[in-house]
Amino acid sequence: MHRFSAKVSSMKVSIIGGGGLVGSCAGFALQLGKIVREIVMIDVNPEAADGHALDILHGASLVADQSIHAGTMADCANSDVIVVTAGLRRKPDESRLDLINRNVALFRGILGDIKKAGPKSDAILFVVSNPVDVLTYLAIRELGLPPKQVIGLGTVLDTTRLRSLLAQQLSVPPTQVDVTIYGEHGDSMVPIWSLGQIGGLPVDKYPGVTPQLITEIEKRARNSGAEMLKKKGGAGFAVGVSIADVIHSIALDQRRVMPVSSLQNGAYGLRDVAISVPTIVGRKGVLGVVEVDLWPKEKIALQSSGRVLRETIEKVL
């Protein structure tokens, strides 16, 4: 819908981690989206943030009339959406828990800097850094914004990976594949095949779809993060467009149902955890969740995913 929009919203988006791969790809995707008015790149390495901002700016005359520049944490004060992509990579032989603890410490520092800048009362904090569900929960607990204004990228990236890989395998248009992953952005994620469709037709009845194919595609989507790390040092383009997709739903108040991570209060039997379920996303952030019947094994897997996150939260927070 917004692909050919000439209208740019008045939204200002600040990307903390804009000097890195994920943050810079998000900035570029927001430029190509032509929706937000101002894109600010912030990084602990100001040269890198400035370099990426300039590189994106240099193409502005061919894309859209937007303000694109490097900035500082002070820019968070009047930003509509504050995106946090900054994070630490795993060291050789480092345990997952040690990496989580280091990222929690870094993220707490970033939250402190955002607090000091004094975000607007209606600002949305959009968490991308991993472990995204744990950090989203931490931000809800410690930043002081209403919980509905704190969103994590959740399984948005996992979902587009699954859809795009399935489309490639079946030689169908990717935009016609509608299968969504919910739960943790991690090993316990849950693809919801019971509601899946291709071109409006049930996915399990679609020509060429077999239980073996479903297992294979699911495995590839689940391992995509590790594959990107091995082949090119980490994901960039797909996570960039995933971030932009969520921001555009906020900027245009589209109220689309998306698999973002947010605080749960009972839906699907999940409580006191930030996790991805069908979530309505608009200008005010989380506008509600949609609860529908799933296959019993999917609901059990989703609740198990919630328990995995709860255990991690208890260990690190």
Nearest to 112 by CA among 124, 104, 121: 104
Residues 111 and 229 both lie in one domain: no
pTM: 0.96
Instruction: Out of 152, 173, 195, pick the residue that ends a domain.
Output: 152
Q: Does 216 lie in the same domain as 147?
A: no
d(Cα 38, Cα 41) in Å, to the nearest integer? 10
pLDDT tens across 10-19, in order? 999 999 999 9
Domain that holds residue 177: 155-315
- Say if residue 276 carries a ligand binding annotation: no
Q: In this structure, are 186 and 230 located in the same domain?
A: yes
Check residue 139 and give left, alpha or beta (phi > 0: left; psi -120 to 50: alpha). alpha
The tens digit of pLDDT for each residue in 281-304 reads 999 999 999 999 999 999 999 999
User: What are 236-294's pLDDT values in tens digits?
Assistant: 999 999 999 999 999 999 999 999 999 999 999 999 999 999 999 999 999 999 999 99
Instruction: State how far Cα 191 lies from the chain centre.
Output: 16
90 annotated to bind ligand: yes
CATH number at residue 116: 3.40.50.720
The last residue of a domain, from among 152, 168, 196: 152
Residues 165, 267, single domain; the answer is yes
Q: Is 307 annotated as a binding residue?
A: no
Q: Which residues are catalytic?
A: 185
Residues whose CB is less than 8 angstroms from the CB of residue 268 and which lie 6 or more positions away in sequence, other chains included: 277, 291, 294, 299, 302, 303, 306
In terms of phi and psi (left: phi > 0; alpha: psi -120 to 50; beta: otherwise), the region of 76 is alpha
Q: What is the DSSP letter of 183?
A: B
Tally of domains in the chain: 2
Q: End of a domain among 127, 152, 177? A: 152
